[in-house]
A = this chain, B = another copy of it.
Amino acid sequence: MSTSTHQTEITVDPDVPLVRIIREFDAPPERVFRAHTDPGLVVQWLGPRRHEMRIDTWDCRTGGSYRYVHASDGNEFGFHGSFHEVRLCELIVQTFTFEGEPDGVALEKLTFEDCGDGRTRLSSTSLVDSFEDRDAFVASGMEDGIREGYERLDELLAT
C-alpha cells in the first residue's frame, strides 16, 4: 500500500473571518465524497489518530444532522451540526459546533472538484462571525488535527 503525501494548504482570509483548506486526494470525487457521507467510512479517518471516534448520528443528506464524539485518555469531546445541503459528489454545506464552546458555530462548505486522472481537489471553508474566534480556532492547533485526518483518509482511499 502506498499513501500519497499531498500538502494540506490552510489559509486565513484577509477580509472575512474565514479559514480555507485545500487538499488533493489520489481518488476520484465519488470515493472522496463517500468517505465524507458514509458513517462507516467517516469514523475511520476524521480527526487525529489519538482519538477514538464514536458517531451518535450521521444523517448526511440535505436537512439531516450529525453528532460525534472524539475520546482519548478518558476525555470526551462532542461535536454536532446540520447538513444544510448535500449535492452528490459535488458539495456539502454544514454547520459545526464544538460542544466545549456551545455558543460557537461555524458554517462550512466542502467542494469536491474532479482533477482528472482519478484525483480530487477538496476545498473547504469555515466561516465564523468574528476574526477573534477565527484566529483562536487556528491557534488551537486545529491544523495538525486536519492534516493528520487527511493522512488517515489517504490511507483509507488507498485500500
Are B107 and A16 in contact (CB-based, < 8 A)?
Answer: no
Residues in B whose Cβ lies below 8 Å from that of A67:
63
Residue of B with least CB distance to A95? B84
Asked whether any CB of chain B lies closer than 8 Å to the CB of A156, the reply is no
Question: Using a CB-CB cutoff of 8 Å, which residues 42-60 of chain A contact chain B?
Answer: 57
**Once the chains bind, are A95 and B93 in contact (CB under 8 Å)?**
yes
- A1-60 residues at the B interface, CB under 8 angstroms: 15-18, 57
Whether A97 contacts B82 in the complex (CB less than 8 A), given A127-B107, A129-B18, A129-B125, comes out as no
Q: Complex: how many Å from CA A84 to CA B102?
A: 11
Q: Which residues of A68-109 are within 8 A (CB) of B?
A: 80-85, 93, 95, 97, 105, 107, 109
Residues of B within 8 A of A16 (CB): 16-17, 129-131
Known A17-B16, A107-B105, A127-B107: A84·B63 in contact at CB below 8 Å: no
Question: A65 contacts the other chain (Cβ, under 8 Å)?
Answer: yes
8 Å CB contact of A105 from B17, B81, B85, B131? B85
Q: Which residues of B contact A107 (CB under 8 A)?
A: 95, 105, 107, 127, 129
A57-B63, A63-B65, A64-B65 known; 15 new pairs, CB 8 Å cut-off, are: A15-B131, A16-B16, A62-B65, A62-B80, A63-B80, A65-B82, A81-B84, A82-B82, A82-B84, A82-B95, A93-B95, A93-B105, A105-B109, A107-B107, A109-B129
Binding site for B on A (CB under 8 A): 15-18, 57, 62-65, 67, 80-85, 93, 95, 97, 105, 107, 109, 125, 127, 129-131
